[in-house]
Amino acid sequence: MTARRVDGWGRIDRSTHLPFTYDGGAFEGHAGDTLASALLANGVDVVAPSPIEGRPRGVFSAGIEEPNAFVELSAPWFEPIVPATMVDLVRGLAAHGRPGVGRLPLEPPATRPTDHRHTHVETLVVGGGGAGLAAAAEAASRGDRVLVAHDRAWWGGALPDEQAETVAADLVAVDDVTMLPSTTALGVYDDGYVVLHERAINADRIWHVRARRVVLATGALERPIAFADGDRPGVMLAGAVRVYLERFGVLCGERAVVLTTNHWAYATARALRDAGAEVVAIADVAPGGPAGEAARADGFEVLQGWSVARVEGGRRVEAAVLVSPDGAERRLDADVVAVSGGWNPNTHLYRGIGGGLRYDAAIASWVPDGDAPPWLEVVGTATGDGLPTSVPYAYTPAADLTRHYVDLQRDRTVADVLASVETGLRSVEHVKRRTYIGTAIDQGRTSGPLTAAIVNDALGEAFGAQGPTNARPPAVPVSFAALAGRERGALLDPVRTTPIHPWHLEHGAVFENVGQWKRPWFFPRDGEDTEAAVLRECRAVREAAGMLDASTLGKIDVAGPDAATFLDRMYTNRMSTLAVGGIRYGLMLGLDGMVMDDGVAMRLADDRFLVTTTTGGAATVLDRFEEWLQTEWPDLRVYCTSVTEQWATVAVGGPRARDVVAAAGCDVDLSAEALPFMAWRDGSIAGVTARVARVSFTGELSYELHVDGRHGAHVWEAVMAAGERFGITPYGTEAMHVLRAEKGYVIVGQDTDGTVTPDDLGMSWIVRKDDSDFVGRRSLARPDTVRIDRKQLVGLLPVDGSVLLPEGGQVVATEVVGAPPVPMLGHVTSSYRSAALERTFALAMLQAGRSRVGSTVYVALADAAVPCDVVAPVFWDPEDRRRDG
Amino acid sequence: MPLIRCPWCGDRDEVEFRYGGQAHVAYPSDPAALTDAEWADFLFVRDNPKGPWRERWFHTAGCRRWFNAVRDTATHRFVATYRLDEEPPELPT
């Protein structure tokens, strides 16, 4: 016989029929069912095989403690693995049994819309049973904003509770009270921060709750008892057997054996008999007691001091063999064995926030006591109050304990626990790690207390001398999809685009991500690959004119009477001596003397500068400015404002750049005399106000056109149109990288890595020689920074000019790479094909590199060492003859 | 996630802030006058006590102001926060 639905029992809507499928078979349940109750009602004994040994396993519990009945849901939405006991049945549900391990489909599955919500309340109640609802009603009556999270679809505890339903119905009607059924708390964190997971039919929702007061009404969980083959379908927790009958109208068997340490399981026996089942025996491991006497008086066969030695049967229990205190056995036909080893307060969330515990010998369990944060309160049976007295009894003694399953989801037995203790382990935590008990999806809710008791017993220590193992959030598994919420795909990270971005899209740019920015990497023409496009773009800049969208450059407005003094302290060179209208390149160091960013400063007025930063460094530099101003120099009157997105910047470079900019309708005198290198002038271009700056990152004659962001696209298109007859070519970041490397200009973060000083880059010229201090200066005199064997920036020319060195390639001294450890001289930081040089070239950081110029080194690749000539790191126009055009 | 009391904004989620290391470590008035050992001590060495100590925080995603806090490194509890121009509170014993 198997389970079946019985009339006159249950608190579900038997008039609503919900078709569903399980492992391909068609079934029907009712509104209010869980998948587990519906499977039981349909006589499904085996839900899934056990994960390691493949033993048949059925529904063991009625809640989150379920260690057996795991399913994958494929409709109406996908869930990789959930306990059937926590799945609210819906029409059209499709489930497949899974052996305790989920799998991801190859194609992205249908999921419910996922979302995150944030809320603040005075009182958050976790648990919508009687105690939780009472706490919520009390808080609501004080006028608190209240949120009640309950992990079941119904209000009240596991057993039907009309009073709780009434209280809940009243609370639903109260403003400022939010009632969330089917919502599980994943973790309780500092200062009343609680994360909830709501499993609604139309949404998979994560709640971030900040509560002034958190009430845990998380109830209690029943302990099993291990005996031989106690994992067979039909062996169930006694409380669950009663829940299936009283809430779902499912009778779990016709012939029941009840095994218990406490009086609560007698209620299960009485309910089973009332519903028409035969209770063939109640084995009570205690030697006697009032519950047993009362039951005997009512005609039950109560065997005091007895236990269950083993069960018989394969895919379903067929008989239970009971054993007396003196070892006598009795075999009884039975199709369900209802087991209760006592009850534990459900303290997972409480322990996760550091709540202390005390062992209560009366109920043989740990209960909350001490060390909880002041805003946290535990109520109801979660405190241990009202739980039945129980002896500690983890398993039925036997010679062979290898089928006394303790952790059903890890297929671990009493023998495994004892073997761990035998090897010398003395801590429950260590036993957990050796056996993996308690590490599965159910997080050891049934196996943990058993294991602690077995270890206590094996070590001859008192019960409660140690244990339980630590509990950590999340309290129940949660899918990454739910945690990700909407932050996936295009919404994974903010995407920043320049005002010229639409033009780039239209013209087929291939983009690269630079921080959050999308920057055109190159603009391929018909049939071009990356290399061909980049070579063409580079050639255009060297031979005619190119244009780059440089709008992503970080820009900081530094204003105030002390702006110049401040910048002098932040940069290695002097900015205070810069005239209005001038531009100066600057290096910024960390306190440790290492290069952290570079850029140019334009002096706009005596008390105002515009400072540019690297695209990726803008936020860091602004943070750093503000840190020094606030924490070290609050006397300086300086204000820093990020203006990166207020300005669009079009960089026009190449021998024809002057012609192009003039043709675009620029009213600034562009001659080298009127607008020399490293100067800016205000004026207009293409009808809009512009700041025109002579800055070059390519070595060619270049103009940076800074305009209001709104006019960026207009100016870009005007320059494109005007430049057409001069061969204007839009280029991307890859060509920009090649062109600057040909000039030996470093990129902070590519050629440097936070361990590089200005001198290492050959840039001592930018470090001022007077006595005045700047950030990082003292470190430049540290013994380590003046070592002569530091890595220094050099150029590398592969002897075979067609070989492209990999960036990151290691530089060694000899062609034949010896046995490890091979002395490393340095590494390649930048490497490109050059159109202008008609060969490959690279930049490298090389030990004592400047002294090696003229020698040959080798870049070690997997199959060869590539010989390279060490040269100065300037490959193009070392005399700077081209920058004035 | 703890709440941190910004002296200007009040209690805010920790994610709005950036940690700034030990407080009251002033930049030397004349770094050039320091020996290598003294400079290295300023540059690299910080206290690492178990228990309450004073540290810096930056309200990055809020008012963007730096402030100081007394936090217990053993319990992660914030004992006090105070402005840069305020006298540091006594450390609890």
Q: What is the pLDDT of residues A144-183, one digit of tens each?
A: 999 999 999 999 999 999 999 999 999 999 999 999 999 9
A255 forms beta bridges with A278
Task: Name the closest residue on chain B to residue A771, using Cα atoms.
Answer: B32
- Strand-pair partners of A840: A833
A74-83 long-range Cβ contacts below 8 angstroms, 24+ apart? A74/A109, A75/A110, A76/A110, A77/A109, A77/A110, A77/A111, A77/A112, A77/A204, A78/A105, A78/A109, A78/A110, A78/A111, A79/A479, A80/A104, A80/A479, A81/A441, A81/A477, A82/A477, A83/A36, A83/A441, A83/A442
Q: Domain for residue B4, yes or no?
A: yes
Cα separation, A739 vs A536, in Å, equals 12
pLDDT tens-digit map of A796-830: 999 999 999 999 999 999 998 888 899 999 999 99
Q: Is residue B89 part of a domain?
A: yes
Residue B24 belongs to a domain: yes
What amino acid occupies position A500? I
Residue A506 to residue A511: CA distance in whole angstroms: 12
CATH label of the domain that carries residue B10:
3.30.2270.10
* Mean predicted confidence (pLDDT) in A483-496: 91
Residue with tokens 């249908």: A110
Query: Is the Cβ pair B39, A592 closer than 8 Å?
Result: no
Instruction: State the pLDDT at residue A105.
Output: 85
pLDDT cut 90: percent of chain A above it: 93
Q: Is the CA virtual torsion A228, A231, A235, A238 positive or negative?
A: positive
**Domain tally, chain B:** 1
Residue B42 lies in a domain: no
3-state secondary structure of A556: strand
Q: Mean pLDDT in chain A?
A: 96
Three-state SS annotation for A852-867: HCCCEEEEECCCCEEE
pLDDT at A1: 46
Question: Whole domain around residue B93: which residue ranges?
Answer: 1-28+49-93
Residues of chain B in contact with residue A782, where contact means CB-CB under 8 angstroms, are: 36, 39-40
Domain annotation for chain A: domains and CATH numbers: 4-97 (3.10.20.440), 112-223+343-390 (3.50.50.60), 225-342 (3.50.50.60), 399-469 (1.10.10.1100), 502-551+647-740 (3.30.1360.120), 554-642 (3.30.70.1400), 786-871 (2.40.30.110)
pLDDT of residue A322: 98
Task: List CB contacts of A166: < 8 A, sequence separation 6 or more.
Answer: none
> Closest Cα of chain B to A190: distance in Å?
5
B35 domain residue, yes or no: no
Alpha carbon distance A577, A570 (integer Å): 14
> Is the pLDDT assigned to residue A616 strictly greater than 90?
no
Q: What average pLDDT does the segment A8-18 reach?
A: 96
Residues on A contacting B at a C-beta cutoff of 8 Å: 189-191, 193, 210, 591-592, 623, 626-627, 630-632, 634, 771, 773, 777-779, 781-783
Determine the distance in angstroms separating the CA of B32 from the nearest CA of chain A, rounded to an integer: 6
Query: How do residues A268-305 score in pLDDT, each as one tens digit?
Result: 999 999 999 999 999 999 999 999 999 999 999 999 99
Measured torsion, CA atoms of residues A250, A253, A256, A260, in degrees rounded to the nearest 10: -50
pLDDT value for B93: 79
pTM of the model: 0.90
Report yes or no: B59 and B17 within 8 Å, Cβ to Cβ.
yes
Residue A610 predicted with pLDDT over 90: yes
Q: What is the DSSP letter of A709?
A: G
Q: Smallest Cβ distance to B36: which of A591, A777, A783? A: A783
Task: Classify residue B90: in a domain, yes or no.
Answer: yes
* C-beta atoms surrounding B11 within 10 Å: 13
* Distance in Å, alpha carbon of B3 to nearest chain A alpha carbon: 6
ipTM of this model? 0.97
Cα gap A805→A812, rounded to integer Å: 13
Task: With beta carbons less than 8 A apart as the criterion, state whether A58 and A313 touch.
Answer: no
CA A493 to chain centre: 13
Longest dimension (CA), chain A: 115
B91 in any annotated domain: yes
User: Which of B12, B14, B35, B43 is the best residue to mutate to test the A interface, defined by the most A CB atoms within 10 Å of its own CB?
Assistant: B43
| Residue numbers in A near B1 (CB within 8 A) | 189-191, 193
What the block records as the tokens of A409 is 């989801």
A373 neighbourhood in chain B, CB within 8 Å: none
β-pairing verdict for A728-730 and A545-549:
parallel
Does B31 sit within 8 Å of A773, measured CB to CB? yes
Cα–Cα separations (whole angstroms), residue A846 to A457, A858, A872: 65, 11, 12
Cross-chain Cβ contact B84/A626 below 8 Å = no
A82 forms bridges with which residues in the sheet?
Answer: A71
How many angstroms away from the CA of B66 is the closest CA of chain A? Answer: 7
Q: First CA to last CA across chain B, in angstroms? A: 25
Span of A16-20, A393-397, A471-475, B48-52 with lowest mean pLDDT:
A471-475
* Candidate from B13, B39, B60 with C-beta closest to A778: B39
Q: Which residues contact A829 (CB under 8 A, 6 or more apart)?
A: A750, A751, A793, A807, A842, A843, A844, A845
Is B44 part of any domain?
no
**Cβ contact (<8 Å) for B40 and A782?**
yes
Is A568 in contact with A773 (CB distance < 8 Å)?
no
